[in-house]
C-alpha cells in the first residue's frame, strides 16, 4: 500500500490494524480486508509493478 512513513496519521492507523512498513520497497504491508475496512483502496499498489 502506497504511503510515506512520515504520514503519522496513516502510520498509526495501519499499525493498529496489524500492518507494517516494508522499508525495502517503501510501502505499507496490510491485509486486503483491512485496507478495505480503513477505506485505503486508492493507495493499493500492484506488487508486480512496485518491484
Instruction: From residue 13, give the alpha-carbon distance in Å to each of 1, 19, 23, 24, 49.
Output: 13, 9, 18, 21, 25
Q: Model confidence over 3-41: pLDDT tens digits?
A: 887 889 999 999 999 999 999 988 999 999 999 999 999
Confidence at 50, pLDDT banded by 50, 70, 90? low
Q: DSSP character for 20? A: E
- Kindly state whether residue 16 falls inside one of the protein's structural domains: yes
Confidence at 48, pLDDT banded by 50, 70, 90? low
- Kindly state whether residue 1 falls inside one of the protein's structural domains: no
- Whether 49 has a pLDDT exceeding 80, the answer reads no
User: Is the CA virtual torsion 22, 18, 31, 41 positive or negative?
Assistant: negative
pLDDT at residue 41 in the model: 93
- Whether 51 has a pLDDT exceeding 70, the answer reads no
CA pair distance 25, 47, nearest whole angstrom: 10
- Number of structural domains the chain divides into: 1
- Kindly state whether residue 2 falls inside one of the protein's structural domains: no
CB 2, CB 49: distance < 8 Å? no
Amino acid at each position: 500500500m502506497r504511503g510515506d512513513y512520515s504520514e503519522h496519521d496513516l502510520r498509526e492507523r495501519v499499525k493498529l490494524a496489524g500492518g507494517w512498513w516494508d522499508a525495502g520497497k517503501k510501502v505499507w504491508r496490510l491485509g486486503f480486508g483491512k485496507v478495505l475496512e480503513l477505506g485505503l483502496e486508492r493507495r493499493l499498489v500492484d506488487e508486480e509493478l512496485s518491484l
